[in-house]
Each structure stands twice: as C-alpha cells, then as structure tokens.
Amino acid sequence: MFPIVPIVFAVLSVIVLGAAVMVVTNRNLFHSALYLILTFLGMAGLYVLLEAEFLAGVQVLIYVGAIAVLILFAIMLSGRYLQDPGRQLNQQWPLAAIFAVLFFGVLAFVLLQVRWATVQAEVPGNYLTRLGQDLMGPYVLPFEVASVLLLVAMVGAILIARER
Amino acid sequence: MGILETLDQLLNILGNALARWLATFLPAWAVTAIMDFLVIVLVVAVALVIVLFLIWMERKAVARFQDRLGPNRAGPYGILQSIADAVKMLTKEDVIPAKADKGAFNWAPAIMVAPALLVYAVIPFGRGMVPQDLNIAILYVLAMASMTTIAVLTAGWSSNNKYALLGGLRIGAQLLAYEIPMALSMLAVVLLAGSMSTVRIVEAQARLPFILMLPGVFLVHFICAAAESNRGPFDLPEAESELVAGFFTEYSGMKFGLFFVAEYINLFAISAIITTLWLGGWQGPLLPSWFWFFAKSFAVIFVFMWVRFTLPRFRIDHLLSFAWKFLLPLALTNLFVVGLVVKLGLGFWPQAAALLVTNVAVTVGALYLGGWALRRAQQRAVEERMAQWRAWQQSR
C-alpha cells in the first residue's frame, strides 16, 4: 500500500503552481485567464484531498463559475487593450529575482517555525449539517454582515453602470 | 432472490462477482482501482450510447411533430443515422481559422464535454447504482453546470469571428442569468429532503414524489434547465437563422461533433437530475429500478423536445429580463415559502398538502403579477409613443 496522498498532493501542487506561473508570465491575456481557471481547479482538488468537499464544490462554483467568468467577460469586452504587451520581464529582473528568493526564504522560515494548531480528529460525517447550523447559530452575525456587504457591492455596481 | 430482484441488482451482482474474482490474485488496492476504472468506463460508455440514441430520437421526434417522417434511410427506421452523422463528422476536414487562438480553440470542445460527463458521477441510475454517492451531489452538479460558461466563452472568443464572439457573450449572459433560479429551485428540494446527496433525495421521495408537492418550483427548474443547455425556446445564441451557429460557427469536423455531443450529454444529464429531484428517481412498482429511471428520464427528455419544437424562440433581451426580473424573485419567494412551511413541522401529509397549496398560490400570484406588470409596461410604452407623435404633430 504505497502512500498515494503525497503523490496526489505533489501532482496537484505542480498543477496549481505551474498554472500560477503561466498566469503571470503569459503574454496573451485570455490565456492567462484560462490558466487562472486551472489554478482554481487545482485548489479545488487540494480541498478534496483535505476532505473538505463542500469547500471544493463552492470553490468551483464561485471561483470558476462566477469570478473567472467575470474576468473572461471583462477581457472579452475590452478587446482593444489586448495588444501584445511585449516581454513580460524588464531589465530589472535580476534584482526582482533576488528579492523574490529572499521573500520566499523568510516565508518558508516563518511557516516552518510556527506551531500550527492541528487537531487529530476525524472530519465528522454530517459536517454539512453542522456547517449549516454553525452558520445560522454562533456565526450568524458575520454571515449576515457578509450578505449585506455583497448587497452593497451589487447596488454600487448597478449604480455606477447605470446610464443616466 | 426473486427474478425481479436479480434483474434489478444485475449490475451490482456482476460487479461484486468480478471484484471477488480479481481479489483472488490481486492486492486490495489494485482491485479497487480496477473496479473504479471499470465504473468510469461503463458510465462514459452508457453516456455516449445514450447520446447516439438521443440524436436519432430528436430527429425522429422533430419530424413527427412537423408531420413528416424523419430519417428512414440509414438502417431500419433510420436508427443508424447517428452513426452516419458521426462518421461524417469524423471524416470532415478540420478547419482552424488563420488568426484563431489555436490553444483555446482546440481546448474549448474538451472544456465543454468534460463537465457534462462529470455530472454522471452522481446520478443514481438504480437502487444502489450510483457511481459515487457524494454528500454534496447537488452542489457538484451546480458547479459542473457553471463550468459550461467557461467553455462557451472560450469557444466564442478564440474563433476570431465577430459573430461567434457575439454568440459566445450572449450564451454566457444567458447561462449566468439562469443558473441562479436553477440553484434556488434545487435548494428547495434539498430543504425538503434534508440532504444534498442524490441517493438521499431519491429515498426521501419514497411516499410522494416532490413534483406533486412543489409543481411551481419544478416548473422553474425545468425552464432553467432548458435555458442552461441552450435548448428549446432558449436557443437564440445558437440559432441558425441569426448567427449562423453562434459560438461554434468556426468549428468543423469532430470539434463540432464534440459540441454537438456535449449538448446531448448535457440534455440527458439534466433530465436525469430532474428525474432524481422531482419524479422520484428509480422508484416504481414491479419492474427493475434502472428501467423506471431510464423510462422517467426519457419521458422528461421527450417533454424537452416537445417544448422545443412547439414554442418560438425568445429574443435575447426578453430571455434575460425573464430570468432576472421574473424567475429570480419567483425562485426566491418559493424558497422562502418552502422554508416557512417546513419550519412549521407538520406531519408528512399535512406538510405535503400545505406545500402544494402555497406553491400553487405563489406561482399563480407571480403569473398574475407578471402579467399585470407587463401590461402596464406595454401601456406606458404605447402612451409614450402617442405623446411623441402628438408632440411631432404640434410642431408641424
């Protein structure tokens, strides 16, 4: 019985990180958006690996189905600004690379030093019910505030986009 | 076991026997892997065979609705017509427009087919015959449905064709608009069944199928499902008379075939979901469970085709305003009312009766309200034109 979880984790990480790199370095804006979708899907896979299937489903539904679609719409409706922006790196890239490596080193050090509060418990079978109950019980106030925030954002967007 | 039970569980019996035989010479993890792989192959094979059948069924049905015969040359009663279509598409030249975005152009059909096929993983084809019993099955279905939008936008954009782009944007808007009422109407069922798992939902309809409790919500779901798969009166974005073929104008050969096949895969998937959520899934007396499931699914498909060949198309702005201004408030109100009635905590039959009455009342009320609002808008438009005409007359 070989360890399949690390292998799957490695594959998913390669997908997520590779797609993220392609998002940043690709010249074609539309392709960047598609690679972003691949990143989101990889993240959903990682959530499934962590047995958080609801989060994975919501990730695909919201990030891929709504946010990515919005990004695609914005790209498609602003076609004029899609002229090839040329090389994605300018002459200062060695300095940037040094800083990126240093930043990565600091982050890695910090993340390895922290004592993460892990719990050795099983994911309960009825976690969906408990999630619902928690959202409507102890966490109802943040839930309602988030809804109001979304409503305000929607109203604001409609107000800005109205034709007067 | 009686003969009917054996028939009913035929697939499970065969599968168990195969697993036992494999376990005699393979380790446990290999047996699981092979059995899972076989399930995937079986589901995909079933999906594609059903698609072949559906293509023939659609053409025969449209012909009969239009008082003509339909395909009857390729094989007896034309059943080999689908195969003829497939062979034709495979042998056509694969044309890619010169300035098209090759990567996205080639990937778009794949992005379209994959989510449609993935929905089949949670469909209960019979008693104990669901490929994977997810406890977030409904959310999974919604997520897969929302990925179709990406495929369509990619196809429309990468064709380097103004009309394909327009078609793609239109379908994107339509899909976004109809996803929300569909999600809300599915949520009403989840409320009633108390679980998002398709198996649990089918079991919750043991006494009464949900369509008899919430016909209005079923109607909303049906309409949204038709819009989600670009069928029926909602196929303006791919209307042949308008935009040649909408977002897949530039696709030829097998890529077009893939889009075509994806549409039918989607059609069966949504019919299966409707059967699961509303018609009681595989439940039925006497005959094997999978027989009832397929019979009900094909009945729903027939109703979809019936609607498609009877009603004229919606215009895109009518389509969108219908979704946002009518279906969304209706779906929200329905969900609210269903939640209220469920919270009252009545017994089973009083709750069913209360749900039926309130749902019919809400739907009829919404129709009246919608009709009144429409009439008022029309009157106001007429009055405005009259005022303009009078003003023009005065100025003469």
Residue A132 shares a structural domain with residue A78: no
Among residues A23, A53, A82, which one ends one of the domains?
Answer: A82
A64·B143 Cβ contact <8 A: yes
ipTM at complex level? 0.86
Full domain range(s) for residue A54: 1-82
Decide: B206 and B283 in contact? Cβ < 8 Å. Answer: yes
Residue A18 shares a structural domain with residue A72: yes
A73·B172 Cβ contact <8 A: yes
Number of domains in chain A: 2
B179 contacts in chain A (CB < 8 Å):
65
Length of chain B: 396
**Residue A143 domain-assigned?**
yes
Candidates B27, B144, B149; nearest CB to A69: B149
**Residue A110 domain-assigned?**
no
B45: amino acid identity, one letter = A
Instruction: Mark residue B222 as left, alpha or beta (left: phi above 0; alpha: psi -120 to 50; beta: remaining).
Output: alpha
Per-residue pLDDT of chain B (396 residues; tens, 9 = 90+): 578 778 778 888 888 888 888 888 888 788 888 888 999 999 999 999 999 899 889 888 888 888 888 787 777 877 888 888 888 888 888 888 877 777 888 888 888 999 999 999 999 988 888 888 888 899 999 999 889 889 888 888 887 777 778 878 888 889 999 999 999 999 999 998 888 889 989 999 988 899 999 999 999 999 999 998 888 788 776 665 555 666 777 777 788 888 888 989 999 999 999 999 999 888 888 888 888 999 999 999 999 999 988 888 888 888 898 999 999 999 999 999 999 999 888 888 888 999 999 999 999 999 999 899 989 989 999 999 999 999 998 887
pLDDT tens per residue, range A89-146: 788 888 999 999 999 999 999 999 988 888 777 777 778 888 888 888 899 999 999 9
Decide: B233 and B314 in contact? Cβ < 8 Å. Answer: yes
A35: amino acid identity, one letter = Y
**Residue A113 domain-assigned?**
no
Decide: B195 and B137 in contact? Cβ < 8 Å. Answer: no
Q: Where are the domains of chain B?
A: 92-387
Mutate to test the interface with B, among A34, A43, A127 (most CBs of B within 10 A): A34
Cα angle: B139, vertex B42, B49; to 5 degrees: 95
Residue B288 φ/ψ, nearest 5 degrees? -60, 155
DSSP string, chain A: ---HHHHHHHHHHHHHHHHHHHHHH-S-HHHHHHHHHHHHHHHHHHHHHTT-HHHHHHHIIIIIIIIIHHHHHHHHHTGGGGS----S--TTHHHHHHHHHHHHHHHHHHHHHS-------PPPTTHHHHHHHHHHTTTHHHHHHHHHHHHHHHHHHHHHH---
B139·A61 Cβ contact <8 A: yes
Q: Domain of A20: which CATH number?
A: 1.20.120.1200
